[in-house]
Structure 1
């Protein structure tokens, strides 16, 4: 059992067009006027933005930073730094840290809303959740939850956030429209990891002291199944089709595979020493697992449930997140204060990014991302 007490995603013709694509003569003047307006606006934007940027206030504003970064269509990785109470924001196109956000004490878990507008951070030291607005990269709300909230997952419709509270043995259910706790669900002993099924119907929670996984029905917010797994289950990830849940067992160096239709373990996969974080590729073909004991990431092929690759990363890799296009994996290395970036086509590290102290949780926003390498 690992208890961290110290800081260690027109076929129709347009209006005014005739059958064969020629514009009627009566619309010619309007078409010309419209094109002139568009050209004028483009010229104005091209002149006005650089002029505005000469203003110190605009040049240092979050809005201008967003403009330079390409707006909300860009993709970012948010990393919780347990050791210095911050969140690092990584631009996945350049693999550089573009912002650092102060949050609560000992931040650990990270989850992004499906529309990419907000990031939820669990703060173990202050027993609350920080809500970050991704347009400004500022904390816009703080939500009290249970004791030592370790991780968080958000439903596919974005309406609920499920927060696992280690020392309360509970899960807090947050209404994301009001950012208030609307239910508290008792689970097993020392819950740690959490994942929501793609249809939003069920939430899977790992219980380290019980060696079990609790299954919560999101319609009633009650536990409807308890699944025995390996020793000290840490985190859980669910395949895109919702049929399998992969659970890392830190205590016996295995990964349990749960059939979510029957909630029984259908396979147990031997992996390296002290498996921690787990994530499934968007196509469901591979599962990536951090191996804390040997500073590696192992890759499981889901068709055979066998390890097919082992990738050296930084020291004490804890958690990981995969980009929506499935091309990159971002791995937090807690003892290095770095994030390793893995190219999933070659399963090699193509970049290493320095972040804050003791990074743990990581999540990636939807958008266009293209990591270098």
Structure 2
């Protein structure tokens, strides 16, 4: 029960209630011009069993891709050619061809896959399976699971270092971050953090790890040189999705219970702004150029777009029903 509760909290508090049937219609592809140059945003729609493809330049959903049951998280390969989606209710990962926007494979993984990330060298996909307490390692070449790594209780967030050598896994049920050596698939340590860690992100310089702790309403700062938590920053209610600007100056946190995004100054290690967004924000991604932050508003069936220069919402895009995970990729076709 505790493990399942952690999953419900991570996705959104609203998961305990029925979805809004109008959401699927709101997220239907809009008629209009082709996407403008810029970033494409992929949004996992938990209750629609789809991935919405958003062109933020036009503020439109340009496609809606059917995937497995209960899509929860989404990640894009470094070359932008593939999109990986965890289907939490189907125990699978859907592989989408970014050019055709079609599912080209469905890969069985562990029990209730929650979060996904791709290694920088594009060789492996890492999937946190919250109910089987492990991480599935998928080869992008064979599109099969090549290893299963046991970690802590109820793993949710996953992040891999720029050199691909180390994987960090946030264990919501254990209150720890597992440190995994990717070459051998072995856990080399567990770092205590706050309560209910659900998502994490590496600083661009690779020196720190930022972890959102849902039940203690704060963000842990982990010094990766010492391997210990060096600070704890209070944020909004039930922090979930987290992202960092490419210059490393700000960290953004989606606060499910506060309907807001906390903006953290990494120099001051404090919240310097709070941005009101839609209802139950949970997924979050920062544009590659750092100019925008994209936030999935679970109970609003929408994607909020935040201008990082002004810390203001500049657009709200209707997507599918129950949006959760968010990922950004270049709009250029592979």
TM-score normalised to structure 2 length:
0.90
Match of 1:310 in 2: 274
2:289 matched to 1:285? no
Cα contact 1:81–1:358 (8 A) shared by 2: yes
Of the three residues 59, 65, 70, the one matched with 1:106 is: 70
Cα contact 1:199–1:242 (8 A) shared by 2: no
Q: What does 1:1-373 align with in structure 2 at a 5 Å threshold? A: 2-4=6-8, 68-69=34-35, 74-367=38-331
Cα contact 2:35–2:62 (8 A) shared by 1: no
Cα contact 2:170–2:176 (8 A) shared by 1: yes
Root mean square deviation, CA, Å = 1.6
How far is 1:68 from its partner?
4.0
How far is 1:201 from its partner?
1.4
CA distance in 1, matches of 2:53, 2:38: 12
CA distance in 1, matches of 2:162, 2:312: 29
CA distance in 1, matches of 2:54, 2:137: 28
CA distance in 2, matches of 1:157, 1:296: 34
CA distance in 2, matches of 1:284, 1:179: 33
With a CA cutoff of 8 Å and minimum separation of 6, indicate the structure with the bigger relative contact order: 2
CA distance in 2, matches of 1:154, 1:182: 14
How far is 1:120 from its partner?
0.2
CA distance in 2, matches of 1:344, 1:197: 25
Cα contact 2:155–2:169 (8 A) shared by 1: yes
For the pair shown, the structure with the greater C-alpha radius of gyration is 1
What does the per-residue CA deviation read over 1:189-223, in whole Å, with 9 as the maximum and x for residues that have no partner? Answer: 11111111122111111111111110111111111
More helix by share: 1
DSSP 3-state at the match of 1:3? helix
How far is 1:3 from its partner?
2.7
Cα contact 1:109–1:361 (8 A) shared by 2: yes
How far is 1:2 from its partner?
2.8
What does the per-residue CA deviation read over 1:18-57, in whole Å, with 9 as the maximum and x for residues that have no partner? Answer: xxxxxxxxxxxxxxxxxxxxxxxxxxxxxxxxxxxxxxxx
Cα contact 1:114–1:366 (8 A) shared by 2: no
How far is 1:75 from its partner?
2.5
How far is 1:156 from its partner?
0.6
Shift >4 Å, 4+ stretches? 5-8
DSSP 3-state at the match of 1:335? helix
DSSP 3-state at the match of 1:2? helix
Cα contact 1:198–1:241 (8 A) shared by 2: no
Cα contact 2:68–2:94 (8 A) shared by 1: yes
DSSP 3-state at the match of 2:330? coil
How far is 1:74 from its partner?
4.8
Cα contact 1:338–1:353 (8 A) shared by 2: yes
Gaps of 5+ in 2: 9-14, 20-30
